[in-house]
Amino acid sequence: MLGLLTAFLTSFRSTLKTLKECDKDLKAYYEEFNTTTEELQKQLIAMEQYFANSSSACIDDEDDLCQVIHSIDMIKEWTEKNASLKMGEVLTGYLTM
């Protein structure tokens, strides 16, 4: 029975020490980023609401992804078309006759 009590007290002390370290780290974070728990909770709620409306979040991401894919296709097409031009034609931007 004494061993169980000793194990419990050791575990309890370790947990308290960890909590104190976490509290110290949290206070350092607050000071570094000049924020509070309330402000972080407001940001969390705003993020949850944004992602709860997944259609608008996904639409924005899909639009960005489509723009990137379209740009890649345009660069590939430009590269293929300009690969057959002579060096002077690429530098001047005009086709020689």
Instruction: Determine the pLDDT at residue 77.
Output: 83
Instruction: Determine the pLDDT at residue 88.
Output: 57
Distance of CA 34 to the CA centre of its chain: 21
Res. 93: pLDDT tops 70: no
Do 76 and 31 belong to one domain? no
Do 4 and 46 belong to one domain? yes
Do 58 and 46 belong to one domain? no
Do 63 and 41 belong to one domain? no
Number of domains in the chain: 2
Determine the average pLDDT of the residues in 30-40: 89
Q: What percent of the chain has pLDDT over 90?
A: 23
Instruction: Determine the pLDDT at residue 64.
Output: 83
Do 45 and 58 belong to one domain? no
Question: Which among 23, 61, 52, 26 is positioned nearest to 40, based on CA atoms?
Answer: 26
**The domain containing residue 6 runs over which residues?**
1-52
Do 69 and 89 belong to one domain? yes
Q: How many other C-beta atoms can be found within 10 angstroms of the C-beta atom of residue 82? A: 10
Rounded (5°) CA angle 62-63-67: 115
C-beta of residue 83 within 8 angstroms of C-beta of residue 77: no
Do 61 and 97 belong to one domain? yes
Res. 34: pLDDT tops 50: yes
Helices 37-52, 54-83: axis angle to 10 degrees equals: 70
Residue-wise pLDDT tens digits, 38-65: 998 999 898 888 777 766 656 777 788 8
Do 42 and 58 belong to one domain? no
C-beta of residue 95 within 8 angstroms of C-beta of residue 85: yes
Do 42 and 20 belong to one domain? yes
Q: Read off the pTM.
A: 0.43
